[in-house]
Structures are given as C-alpha cells and as structure tokens.
Amino acid sequence: MIFAVVFVVIIFFYVVAVYNTFIRKRNSIENTFGAIDVMLKKRYDLLPNLVASVQQYAKHEQNLFSKVSELRAKQFGSLTEKEKSDFDQAFTQASRRFFAVAEEYPDLKASENFLQLQRALNEIEEQLAAARRTYNASVVDYNNAVMTFPSSLVAGMFHFPKKEVLETPAEEQVNPDVKKLFNS
C-alpha cells in the first residue's frame, strides 16, 4: 500500500515537472516570436522613409511603390502569426525589387539619406535572421520534448501541440547565379 502511494506521488511530481517544462518551453517560443515581431515592426516602420527617398528619383516606378505602400497600410499589430509570416515574405520580395529599382538611379545610391536607410534595413534584416534562428531553435527544443517518450504522454494529456518552425521561402533557398551577377 505504501509502495503504491509513493509510486503515485512520484508519478504526480514527474507529471508536474514535465508540465512546467512544457510551459517554460512554450513561453520561450512566445518570447522569441515577440522578438521577431519587434524586428518586423521596426522594418515596417522604416518603409515610409524608404519609399519617400526613392520616389523623388523614380517617378515612373509607381507600381512598386504602390505594392510597398499597400504592405505598409496593413494594420501590423492586428495580424496573426501566420499573417505576419506571410507579410514578412511579401515584404522581403518587395524590398528586393525595391533595391533593384534603386540600383538604376546613381544619384539615389549616392544619397546619404538613402544609404543610411539601407544600412538600417540591413541591420534589421540581420537581427531578424538571428531572431528567426533563435525561434526555430526554441521550437525544435519544444517539439523534441513533445515528441519523445515519456514526456509525449504528458504533452498529449495536456494538449501541447507540435509547433511549426519558420521556413525560408523557396526563392531564398536557391543559390544566386554568380555569372549573371557579373554580367549585368
């Protein structure tokens, strides 16, 4: 009888410890996604300045500016995690096109304001990449705990679902053609 009580107490404390581990890991994921959210917001706030600095040089590129402004017009704070991820991918594509257009204007490339904004965006992109790596590491750590036995039993009991890592879009996974870069 005493053995059964001790066994139940040990199981209870094990379940509590594993449950608390899942809570800490989930909070870590939310914290790292919060860091990504902050970087996306910084990048989002940088958009009007970039658009304004380029618009004065490239009047005929209104289609691109409209796309960037359309992205900026979305209420960023009210977006879901999935919508923020989609926004991030759309912004990355638009900013690549944006800087490709800027390359065609030597006066713009020499503008100190534009260069400063471009450096700020590059810094934000580097911080965003680091935050994504941290987020993905947290998700992998959490998923390992959710999927391995015996903690998977506790995860199932308390409905701790597997989380998705942030994936790099297919166009970013392709190596650039260096010959094309030097021939252009």
Residue (of 40, 123, 125, 31) closest to 76 by Cα position: 40
Domain assignment of residue 98, yes or no:
yes
Residue 132 located in a structural domain:
yes
Q: What is the pLDDT of residue 152?
A: 94
Ranges of H-type helices in the chain: 2-55, 62-73, 81-103, 106-110, 112-147, 151-157, 170-173, 178-183
Task: Identify the domain containing residue 115 by its residue range.
Answer: 15-183
Please give the structure tokens belonging to residue 114: 């534009």
- Is 41 in contact with 126 (CB distance < 8 Å)? no
CA angle 110/112/117 to nearest 5° reads: 110
Domain with residue 97: its CATH number is 1.20.1440.20
Look at 13-17, 62-66, 115-119, 176-180 and tell me which has the smallest mean pLDDT.
176-180
| 161-172 pLDDT per residue, tens | 999 998 876 555
Q: How confident is the model at residue 178 (pLDDT cuts 50, 70, 90)?
A: very low
At 115 the pLDDT is: 79
Q: What is the pLDDT of residue 5?
A: 94
pLDDT, tens only, 18-40: 999 999 999 999 999 999 888 88
Q: Does residue 110 fall inside a structural domain?
A: yes
Say if residues 143 and 163 touch (Cβ distance below 8 Å). yes
pTM score, whole prediction: 0.71
Specify if 8 maps to a domain: no
Report the C-alpha gap between 168 and 132 in whole angstroms.
10
Instruction: Answer yes or no: is 4 within a domain.
Output: no
Q: Please indicate, yes or no, if residue 7 is contained in any of the structural domains.
A: no
Counting the structural domains of the chain, the total is 1
- Least confidently predicted of 21-25, 98-102, 115-119: 98-102
Q: What is the pLDDT of residues 56-93, one digit of tens each?
A: 665 545 555 566 566 656 656 666 777 777 777 777 77
Tokens, residue 49: 């300045």
Decide if 24 is inside a domain.
yes
Q: Is residue 164 in some structural domain?
A: yes
